[in-house]
């Protein structure tokens, strides 16, 4: 996949106003009669045409952008009725708002061989204020039946030229034809990012219009870009992936620079360095906004006479357990330290900058690290775009090495980033000397999800039951998830999840290190279950805790990378005491195999003595992300792991 970059430069000349016209062919009887989508016979609905015209106009003494869009959707069956709805989110802030200036919705239905057309206009729209900043405009199409076609045409104006709307070629239903015409504005320069996947544009042209743009009495030369993509399959999200937005076929626009009428030019898209320079003052202002408070907090938490790392730990723990993350991200601060200390609530940037302020005051080198979370999508290194970031965390430089800190989750162990941050690279925000480069840091989990489980199984002949002692140790994100569960008193789901075979009763359960995220979460369990018998044989499942009861990779083929977001390292130690008078009939053979350049490994060793069967399973994955080409190997690997983890040991009484 390539992402062509193109800067759109415009020259000033005389011209006429750009026209918006998305005329589609007439709806025919045969269109309405169609019962299956030619592109995908299983589709419940499909977008037959999606045509957009994106241009600028002068409005309220400024330039706004306009999107004129026409979408025609075919509903094949009742399951597709949900697509016979219109839904549009409009943004607003205190000063400006996006406006829906034209709207028309039409449904076409076949009745007794004749096309019945029903149209409704803007008056039928329902408007709902979602919350600060968003309005939802909705409509359900009237008169829908299986086979109906619906079409809506609207025109939206927006003053938010910084974030020009993206054009999506792909949706969760097939799209037969999608085209966008973009008429540039001589005063705004955009770069655009195109993701066309493996498809080829049927139209991909640009041409200049000498009178394309009108401002006041003058007209200017503009450039027009046209893209058309046909037969676009429905997007199907797959497990273990970052946001679909990373993979959907679309065009994104980013403002690069703009001109004032006076001719003065402002750069928006500059260099990473310049971006940092612009950010630094506001961050520094926050960090230094309340020295007195910072000093008094440090005094209270008492970190005198400890090593740098101990100091960092104490400060981080203080912030993490006393400040509530309001689940808003972004790199902006909306309050200063004073407000944060009062409300105890802040967004990630505020809480983490507050942490930096305390760390720095304690003499520890700490800087903001900007990143894009997994659900926000990937970063394009070639484009220094602030909007691509949505999260601020902390990078600490210590003599023992660099590490990350994040104070938004009290269950995080020291030095581990929240899992949502494991997404490519983060940019350090610090002043960079003229000839130095900005620094990106890889966002990897500093620790694997290490799971160690020791199992001791004993047969109680009297009650004909198996007694199992389990000692489970968890670290990393898995420990974090379990901690969250335990804190809410949800032990039973853990038990259900962890143990899936047999009729068991939990005799004892002990959780250790629940509130010590730096340590392994330890769960001790005593479980008893009836022995599984078949004639004179007893069958024992060695993995009472078995995360591999089935292969999580179920898809036949994979289109997108498999992005796990965590590393895993599992050791299962099993010790089965052989009752007197019993012999071993079957144990699985010793096995060892690797896959995907040894980033995946499995090992099973069994040792049998007179009194014991000992088994060791080691399953490791040392890579975060696999390309689709590795999918079959990956799937096969787990297929074999599942088979081996579910084999039972068979013992029988001596005859």
Applying CB under 8 A, which residues contact another protein? 42, 44, 77-79, 81-82, 85, 118, 126, 128-132, 136, 138-140, 142-145, 321-324, 326, 342-345, 410, 487-490, 492, 495-496, 499-506, 530, 532-535, 537, 539, 549-551, 585-586, 642-643, 646-648, 650
d(CA 476, CA 447): 6
Nearer to another protein, 23 or 534 (CB): 534
**Cα torsion 386, 387, 388, 389: sign:** positive
Nearer to another protein, 192 or 323 (CB): 323
Nearer to another protein, 360 or 647 (CB): 647
CB 357 within 8 A of CB 366: no
Nearer to another protein, 238 or 246 (CB): 238
Tell me how far, at minimum, the Cβ of 492 lies from another protein, in Å.
6
Q: If DSSP codes are grouped into helix, strand and coil, which group holds residue 387?
A: helix
**In 3D, which of 268, 524, 213 has the Cα closest to residue 383?**
268
Nearer to another protein, 548 or 626 (CB): 548
Tell me how far, at minimum, the Cβ of 145 lies from another protein, in Å.
7
d(CA 310, CA 304): 10
Nearer to another protein, 180 or 337 (CB): 337
Tell me how far, at minimum, the Cβ of 135 lies from another protein, in Å.
10
Nearer to another protein, 97 or 326 (CB): 326
CB 482 within 8 A of CB 601: no
Tell me how far, at minimum, the Cβ of 503 lies from another protein, in Å.
4
**Cα torsion 298, 303, 308, 314: sign:** negative
Structure tokens at 558: 């994979």
End-to-end CA distance of the chain: 67
Q: How far is CA 70 from the centre of its chain?
A: 30
Buried b / exposed e over 307-321, threshold 16 CB at 10 Å, is ebbebbbbbbbbbbe
**In 3D, which of 235, 237, 209 has the Cα closest to residue 223?**
209
On the 0-12 / 13-18 / 19+ scale of CB atoms within 10 A, 145 is middle
Q: Where are the beta strands (DSSP E) in 541-621?
A: 562-563, 568-577, 582-586, 591-595, 600-608, 612-621
Structure tokens at 602: 């499995």
Nearer to another protein, 145 or 601 (CB): 145
- Taking residue 28's Cβ as centre, other Cβ atoms within 10 Å add up to 12
Nearer to another protein, 126 or 162 (CB): 126
Tell me how far, at minimum, the Cβ of 35 lies from another protein, in Å.
9
On the 0-12 / 13-18 / 19+ scale of CB atoms within 10 A, 653 is middle
Nearer to another protein, 79 or 278 (CB): 79
Tell me how far, at minimum, the Cβ of 166 lies from another protein, in Å.
22
Residues forming a β-bridge with 52: 69, 180
Tell me how far, at minimum, the Cβ of 229 lies from another protein, in Å.
24
Q: Cβ neighbours of residue 516 under 8 Å, at least 6 residues apart?
A: none
Nearer to another protein, 164 or 297 (CB): 297
Nearer to another protein, 216 or 535 (CB): 535
Q: How far is CA 158 from the centre of its chain?
A: 27
CB 111 within 8 A of CB 33: no
Tell me how far, at minimum, the Cβ of 654 lies from another protein, in Å.
15
Tell me how far, at minimum, the Cβ of 506 lies from another protein, in Å.
5
Nearer to another protein, 213 or 316 (CB): 316
Nearer to another protein, 371 or 651 (CB): 651
Tell me how far, at minimum, the Cβ of 327 lies from another protein, in Å.
11
CB 158 within 8 A of CB 65: yes
**In 3D, which of 581, 579, 497 has the Cα closest to residue 540?**
579
Tell me how far, at minimum, the Cβ of 338 lies from another protein, in Å.
13
d(CA 560, CA 198): 12
Tell me how far, at minimum, the Cβ of 645 lies from another protein, in Å.
10
Q: If DSSP codes are grouped into helix, strand and coil, which group holds residue 12?
A: coil
d(CA 155, CA 229): 22
Tell me how far, at minimum, the Cβ of 116 lies from another protein, in Å.
11
d(CA 231, CA 455): 55
Q: Tokens 């200049």 correspond to what residue?
A: 208
Tell me how far, at minimum, the Cβ of 558 lies from another protein, in Å.
18
Structure tokens at 643: 């088979």
Q: Tokens 């069958």 correspond to what residue?
A: 539
């Amino acid at each position: 996949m390539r992402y062509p970059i193109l800067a759109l430069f415009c020259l000033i000349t005389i011209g006429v106003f750009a026209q918006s016209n998305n005329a589609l062919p007439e709806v025919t009887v045969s269109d309405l009669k169609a019962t299956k989508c030619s592109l995908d016979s299983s589709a419940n609905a499909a977008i037959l045409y999606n045509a957009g015209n994106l241009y600028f106009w002068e409005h309220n003494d400024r330039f706004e952008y306009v999107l004129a869009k026409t979408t025609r959707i075919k509903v094949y069956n009742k399951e597709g009725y949900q697509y016979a709805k219109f839904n549009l989110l409009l943004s607003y802030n205190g000063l400006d708002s996006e406006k829906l200036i034209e709207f028309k919705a039409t449904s076409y239905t076949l009745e007794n061989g004749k096309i019945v057309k029903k149209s409704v206009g803007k008056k039928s729209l329902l408007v709902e204020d979602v919350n600060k900043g968003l309005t939802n405009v909705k409509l359900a199409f009237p008169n829908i039946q299986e086979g109906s076609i619906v079409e809506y045409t609207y025109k939206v104006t927006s003053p938010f030229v910084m974030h020009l709307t993206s054009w999506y070629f792909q949706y969760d239903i097939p799209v037969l034809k999608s085209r966008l015409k973009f008429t540039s504005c001589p005063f705004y320069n955009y770069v655009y990012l195109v993701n066309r996947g493996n498809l080829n544009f049927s139209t991909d042209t640009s041409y200049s219009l000498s009178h394309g743009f009108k401002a006041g009495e003058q007209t200017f030369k503009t450039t027009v870009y046209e893209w058309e993509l046909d037969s676009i399959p429905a997007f199907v999200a797959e497990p273990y992936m970052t946001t679909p937005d990373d993979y959907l076929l679309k065009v994104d626009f980013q403002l690069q620079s703009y001109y004032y009428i006076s001719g003065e030019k402002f750069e928006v898209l500059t260099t990473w360095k310049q971006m940092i320079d612009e950010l630094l003052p506001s961050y520094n202002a926050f960090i230094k906004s309340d020295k007195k408070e910072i000093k008094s907090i440090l005094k209270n938490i008492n970190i005198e006479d400890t090593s740098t790392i101990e100091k960092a730990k104490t400060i981080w723990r203080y912030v993490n357990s006393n400040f509530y993350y309001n689940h808003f991200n972004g790199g902006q601060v909306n309050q200063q330290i004073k407000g944060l200390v009062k409300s105890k609530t802040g967004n990630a940037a505020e809480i983490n900058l507050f942490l930096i302020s305390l760390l720095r005051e304690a003499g520890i080198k700490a800087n903001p690290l900007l990143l894009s979370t997994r659900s926000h999508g990937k970063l394009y290194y070639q484009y220094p775009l602030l909007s691509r970031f949505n999260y601020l965390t902390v990078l600490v430089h210590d003599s023992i090495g660099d590490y990350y800190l994040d104070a938004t989750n009290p269950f995080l162990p020291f030095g581990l980033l929240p899992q949502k941050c494991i997404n490519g690279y983060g940019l350090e925000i610090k002043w960079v000397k003229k000839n130095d480069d900005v620094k990106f840091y890889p966002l990897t989990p500093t620790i694997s999800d290490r799971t160690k489980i020791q199992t001791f199984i004993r047969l109680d002949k009297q009650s004909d039951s198996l007694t199992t002692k389990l000692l489970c140790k968890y670290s990393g994100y898995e420990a974090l998830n379990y901690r969250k569960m335990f804190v809410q008193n949800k032990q039973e789901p853990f038990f259900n999840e962890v143990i899936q075979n047999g009729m068991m009763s939990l005799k004892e359960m002990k959780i250790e290190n629940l509130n010590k995220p730096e340590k392994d979460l330890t769960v001790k369990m005593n479980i008893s279950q009836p022995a599984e018998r078949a004639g004179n044989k007893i069958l024992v499942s060695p993995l009472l805790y078995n995360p591999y009861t089935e292969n999580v990779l179920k898809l036949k083929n994979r289109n997108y990378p498999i992005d796990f977001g965590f590393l895993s390292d599992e050791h299962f130690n099993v010790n089965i005491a052989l009752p007197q008078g019993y012999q071993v009939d079957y144990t699985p053979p010793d096995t060892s195999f690797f896959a995907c350049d040894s980033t995946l490994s499995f090992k099973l060793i069994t040792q049998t003595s007179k009194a014991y069967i000992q088994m060791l399973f080691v399953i490791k994955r040392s890579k975060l992300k696999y390309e689709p080409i590795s999918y079959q190997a990956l799937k096969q690997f787990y297929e074999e792991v599942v088979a081996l983890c579910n084999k039972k040991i068979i013992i029988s009484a001596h005859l």
